[in-house]
A and B are shown apart, each in its own frame.
Chain A
Amino acid sequence: MPEKILESFEIRRLEILDPKGEVDESLMPSLSADEIKKMYELLILSRTFDQRAIDLQREGRLGTYASILGQEATQVGSAFTIKKSDWIFPSFREMGVYMTLGYPIHQLYQYWAGDERGLKAPKDLNIFPICVPIGTQMLHAAGAAMAAKYKRDPIAVITYFGDGATSEGDFHEAFNMAGVFKLPVVFICQNNHWAISLPRERQTAAKTLAQKAYAYGFEGIQLDGNDIFAVYKGTKDAIEKARRGEGPVFIECVTYRMSSHTTADDATRYRSKEEVEMWKLKDPILRLKLFMERKGLWTEPYQKEIEERSRQIIDEAVKVAESVEPPHPEDMFTYTYAKPTFRQLKQMEDF
């Protein structure tokens, strides 16, 4: 009996906007000039937020912070397609997602300054708190998708994680659940090449992360994560597919962590300057700017104006974050259970 090929797969890679700012018009998603400008402004806002967070940390005004520098397009481009009714399960390096969705910026600073109240999402936004244990949030996304499917809610659930998370057991279990139950989940991996000091090629022997989806019976696609149009299109298609009840999609966004893992890390210990310099040329904001300039959507005064506006927004957010009354010690107890236990009630008398 001859051997048979039971299954084979191809991994698509999507690129639309190149580092010179040129686009492949055949793939270009339909976006108005205003929408493109809005994207650009969110990229600038995200970068301004990030730089300020690092400055504040250095001044001792924030705790340890995980920078998003270099990953802004992955975050803004994907979140740009998310609707209010969708549910989002982020990890901890998605400040650009939070801001694109309209999460109160002062609360983000509040959280990184060590105030848990920063994690309370506004009522009209279904975003989960930042998730610290790697990859564990993907299961919550699968569960929420299962509940939405049960309730016949026509929504999509989006979860974010990094390349490191693809080595975790919960990644496997979440992908497996999503595949088996054909859940409306979009898995977005920000492959930023580094999990603290471990490079992507030591994370898995697989050629792409995207191909992992095929083992779970659904589609995986790789795209240029520094190309905001590719991210937008890839995510939009996946979310629409999920909403139509056609099951999950895995999107591997190839990007780069330009900063250290967090403010407590020093990336020069384990990676070369040359590598970082090479990625600077692929900067996601620079290429959108070049594109807009070509299209007559970008001018120097416009740049100055939005930088100034971003600074004002961030100034205001920091001001609000730092002027909020500190939490009362009793606040530790308030949300352990719906009602405090008798023992907690006694302990609260200390305050």
Chain B
Amino acid sequence: MPQLNMVQAINLALKEEMMRDPDVVILGEDVGKNGGVFRVTEGLWEQFGSERVIDTPLAESGILGISIGMAAYGLKPVAEIQFVGFTYPALDQIFSHASRIRSRSRGRYTCPLVIRTPYGGGIKAPELHEESPEALFCHMPGIKVVVPSTPYYAKGLLISSIRDPDPVLFLEATRLYRLIKEEVPEGDYTFPLGKARIVREGKNITLVAWGSMLHKVLQAVEGYDDVEVIDLMTLHPFDEETLFKSARKTGRVIIVHEAPKTCGFGAELSATLAEEAMLYLKAPILRVTGYDVVMPLPKLEDFYLPTVERIRKAMEDIIKY
């Protein structure tokens, strides 16, 4: 079985889905001949041609707007937005249309669209290239939000996202693109959207993370016994059941994300736990997150992102109760 990094795993998923279904097309900036700025679509233009791997003009609202039209017509577009910070000019298309065309047309038109976009910090990139705005999209009914954390899961989750009948925002942690390699099988396999996975079982503390923060958490829990780690994988709709089960077992929950704390997705998880699992909790729910500031430039980004030390500090704090 080949050892692939996340770029290669996503590329393989795209290739296999395009071979399987002629309605799957890719569009975005520099996705064709150049193979994408991160090379995620490398080789696909050569294999499938410029009608299916479409280099578009530089226009994010345009890319997603035409994707909605294509999806409604019957294609399955996989649109790439070069960095999640550049979805901002396209929010109108996502929020006003992609998310609600099924509802507004009472099911007459649907939007089976995947928006692939790199997110997150830790790569010393320019402004707006390291954003983590996942919570924005979780607040909008009609969209699903998926964040893979390893190459193996990235492939299966992307295949599920492409086959999903509704729009999916597929957030790819830029820092993870080439960080790890693992065995990624060829051929069809999927993971259901809306399902989390338990990466490590334990009885004392539950740590919840997604995307690149999962790896920070796994580093932080090294040497600690009996700590449970959940990779949420789909943020919207998220897997309440797995979360509750774990919280009821450990009674202590720490949520780690790199987005700012205020109204970050941790707030939703925390509020849900307070509503549904309060009586099982032995300690307050803690959040280790980015700060409530604009994502800083490279000189300060290491101070912004949650660190192993901050996560360990939270683990020590929570166990004291």
Cβ A143 vs Cβ B70 within 8 A: yes
A139-B65, A146-B54 given; 10 more Cβ-contact pairs under 8 Å:
A116-B103, A133-B92, A136-B92, A141-B69, A170-B93, A174-B65, A176-B57, A177-B66, A336-B103, A342-B241
Nearest CB of chain B from residue A138's CB, rounded to whole Å:
8
Residues of chain A lying within 8 A (CB to CB) of residue B104:
116, 119, 129
Q: Given A142-B66, A146-B66, A146-B69, verify A173-B109 contact (CB < 8 Å).
A: no
Residue count of chain A within 8 Å CB distance of chain B: 40
Q: Given A133-B96, A139-B68, verify A335-B106 contact (CB < 8 Å).
A: yes
Nearest CB of chain A from residue B281's CB, rounded to whole Å:
20
Residue-wise interface mask of B (72-84) relative to A, using a CB-CB cutoff of 8 A (1 in contact, 0 not): 1111010000000
Is A140 part of the contact surface with B, judged by Cβ < 8 Å? yes
Cβ B102 vs Cβ A336 within 8 A: yes
Cβ A143 vs Cβ B25 within 8 A: no
Instruction: Find A143's partner among B68, B103, B107, B237 (CB 8 Å cutoff).
Output: B68
Nearest CB of chain A from residue B146's CB, rounded to whole Å:
14
Residue-wise interface mask of A (123-137) relative to B, using a CB-CB cutoff of 8 A (1 in contact, 0 not): 000001100110010
Q: Given A136-B97, A342-B240, A343-B237, verify A150-B65 contact (CB < 8 Å).
A: no
Nearest CB of chain A from residue B160's CB, rounded to whole Å:
13
Is A268 part of the contact surface with B, judged by Cβ < 8 Å? no
> A143, A336, A337: which has the most chain B beta carbons within 10 Å?
A143
Alpha-carbon distance between A120 and B89 when the two chains are bound, in angstroms: 29
Cβ A146 vs Cβ B70 within 8 A: yes
> B51, B67, B73: which has the most chain A beta carbons within 10 Å?
B73
Residues of chain A lying within 8 A (CB to CB) of residue B96:
132-133, 136
Is B118 part of the contact surface with A, judged by Cβ < 8 Å? no
Cβ A136 vs Cβ B65 within 8 A: yes
B69 to chain A: closest residue by CB: A143
Alpha-carbon distance between A176 and B73 when the two chains are bound, in angstroms: 20
Nearest CB of chain A from residue B237's CB, rounded to whole Å:
4
Is B43 part of the contact surface with A, judged by Cβ < 8 Å? no
Residues of chain A lying within 8 A (CB to CB) of residue B187:
none
Nearest CB of chain A from residue B50's CB, rounded to whole Å:
10
Is B34 part of the contact surface with A, judged by Cβ < 8 Å? no
Cβ A173 vs Cβ B105 within 8 A: no
* 14 A-B contact pairs sorted by A residue (CB < 8 Å): A89-B69, A129-B101, A136-B93, A140-B69, A141-B69, A143-B66, A144-B69, A145-B69, A150-B51, A176-B57, A335-B103, A336-B102, A337-B165, A338-B102
Cβ B65 vs Cβ A170 within 8 A: yes
Alpha-carbon distance between A124 and B313 when the two chains are bound, in angstroms: 62
> A121, A147, A148, A169: which has the most chain B beta carbons within 10 Å?
A147
Residues of chain A lying within 8 A (CB to CB) of residue B165:
337-338
Residues of chain B lying within 8 A (CB to CB) of residue A142:
62, 65-66, 69
Cβ A148 vs Cβ B56 within 8 A: no
Residues of chain B lying within 8 A (CB to CB) of residue A256:
none
